[in-house]
Amino acid sequence: MSSSQWPGPGNQRPTIDQYAPPRRRTGWLVWLIVAVVVAALAVTAWQVSRDPESATSGVTPTVATPSAPWTPTSVAPSATAAASSIPFVVGSGVARGQWTITDVSWSATGVTLRMKVTVTEGTLANYAFFIMENDSTDIHESQSQGWSDDISNGTIRAGETVSGRVYFPSPKVASTVMLVRGAGSDPVAALTIGG
């Protein structure tokens, strides 16, 4: 075949790249979906925190009768202490449990959260945490600090509870902490923290 038979500019031989399928660029789509879901969770958490009665409608309170005399103990308030908790259900019953943030401690470089996650049914596989700044919607991933009680990711089975710390490099602003599973694509629950 002579060079005059090849199609293209200057009758050059075609390269393989000309016939390769176009590259798929879906990474931005995944982040867009995560951002939309996170924003929806943040709005829901904000609404529930403003109107807690709507979150408990249909729940009848009961008064527990102690079996032994109860003596209240005083606890000194802490400027960094903030406890909040939320039950969660993954999918249609894949896992159920309770997630609690027991302490929030800000530093010049970020925030350390003490948390507890209990799974009562099923398995919470490949969980992780993210934090989103409420005003800017900037998202920060947790960073392992090498702590022995670092619970920034993992798997928890029915009947297990993990307690420990998670660190986020984030400015000190009101934020929403997200518990997710499966590399951040499946949101489980969200809790807000103050800045």
CA distance 7 to 11: 6
Query: For the segment 61-113, what is each residue's pLDDT rounded down to a tens digit?
Result: 434 444 434 333 333 333 333 468 999 998 877 899 999 999 999 999 999 99
CB hemisphere CA count around 28 (13 angstroms): 2
Residue 171 in this model has a pLDDT that exceeds 70: yes
- Which of 177, 88, 180 lies closest to 139 in space, CA to CA? 177
Q: What percent of the chain has pLDDT over 70?
A: 56
Residue 137 in this model has a pLDDT that exceeds 80: yes
Q: Using CA of residue 169, residue 41, residue 173, residue 30, what is the dihedral sign?
A: positive
- Global pTM value: 0.58
CA distance 145 to 88: 27
For 20, the token pair is 């390769």
Q: What is the pLDDT of residue 193?
A: 93
CA distance 187 to 30: 13
